Amino acid sequence: MESFSHRWMNREEYRDKDKIAAAVREGKDLWGREQDQFVRIENNKDMPPLVLEEPKRFGYMISRDGLSAGFVDYNGKEKRQYTT
């Protein structure tokens, strides 16, 4: 985030990996903006064919469930509740 974000978006509270994973899992905006909520599409087939053909390889693009929220570089060990 440091390399692209507006200054107000690049605060320590927004770079917390646990908070980022929780927001992604719950379909919430990373910065707590109410107008930006994301809806899960179950069994979404509107993806590139390769992603659909190789779900194990591209699982992080298909599902954001679990503690890691699908991120391959985050293990989700720190379990905390966040409200935004």
Residue 1 lies in a domain: no
Sign of the C-alpha dihedral, residues 54, 66, 64, 30?
Answer: negative
Is the pLDDT reported for residue 60 higher than 60?
A: yes
* Structural domains in the chain (count): 1
pLDDT at 47: 94
Residue 24 lies in a domain: yes
Residue 78 lies in a domain: no
Q: Which domain holds residue 34?
A: 7-62
Confidence band, pLDDT 50/70/90 cuts, at residue 58 = very high
Q: Residues 41-58: what's their mean pLDDT?
A: 93
Q: Residues 48-69: what's their mean pLDDT?
A: 91
Residue 26 lies in a domain: yes
Residue 25 lies in a domain: yes
Residue 84 lies in a domain: no
